[in-house]
Amino acid sequence: MSGFMRGVKANVPLLPSVVAYAGVLGVLAAQKSISWTDMMALNVFMFAGSAQFVLVDMWNAPLPVLEMALAVVVVNLRYVLIGASLKDLFAGQGVLKRLGIMHFVADENWAMTMVAARKGEGDVFHLLGGGLLLMLFWSSGTMGGMYFGGLIPDPKILALDFAFTAVFTALAVSLWQGRQDVLPWLVAISASVLTEHFVPGKWYILVGGILGAICAAFVPAVEPEAEVEDVP
């Protein structure tokens, strides 16, 4: 079996959750009156679920384009680390090929490819196969959500207005690494709350993200405790 098909097969079990997650985004997009063309353009040219949730949440006329762009950059900074972790897989590949395949990298197919790489079965085509599959079902989910979202007069009826908060709460919990994150998180939360209170718009996303990241850069990493060997 080719690496491409192994990537497709490895990501099939993830499709129900991907479609459900995308469907929520589509419903919220419909409530914001975002056009199908705009939504599909986001799916194809951005293909980043978290960033798309940010954009949809900020989508109010007149569009705060600068704020939206900066917020997306902050949310997607994790792809710098993801790209670094794929250095060995991309060894010998040209720059254009690397950039092209990186466009189809999501958290899910990256994780599946890393698991396969540990078994000696992961390669760039494994990454690409999973990414294309996820993009197809992600796009289908958002379009389906937009269709059904247009039939829901008030998203609060199904608590869909809380979906944005719930998604990022789950994302934050999954990124928790222990006590070394306490101070950066407190800085990010405090900065976000104060900025939201005093500065109009969505700048609190950018301010909280940047200050939290700067704080994290100066917090020393906590080394795992060495195992104590039994003394006979």
The yes-or-no verdict on residue 169 having pLDDT over 80 is no
pTM: 0.71
Instruction: Residue 74: name the closest of 183, 207, 216 by CA.
Output: 207
The pLDDT of residue 178: 78
C-beta neighbour count of 48 within 10 angstroms: 21
Residue 223, token pair as written in the block: 């080394």
User: pLDDT tens digit string along 200-231?
Assistant: 766 777 788 788 878 888 877 665 444 444 44
Q: How many helices (H) and strands (E) does the chain have?
A: 12, 0
Does residue 42 carry a pLDDT above 70?
Answer: yes
Query: For the chain, what are the domain ranges?
Result: 3-63+78-174, 176-221
**Helix residue spans in 12-94 (DSSP H):** 15-31, 36-45, 49-58, 65-75, 78-85
Give CA–CA dist 167/145, Å, rounded: 16
The Cα-based distances of 30 to 38, 140, 146, 159 in angstroms read 11, 14, 5, 15
Percent of the chain with pLDDT over 70: 82
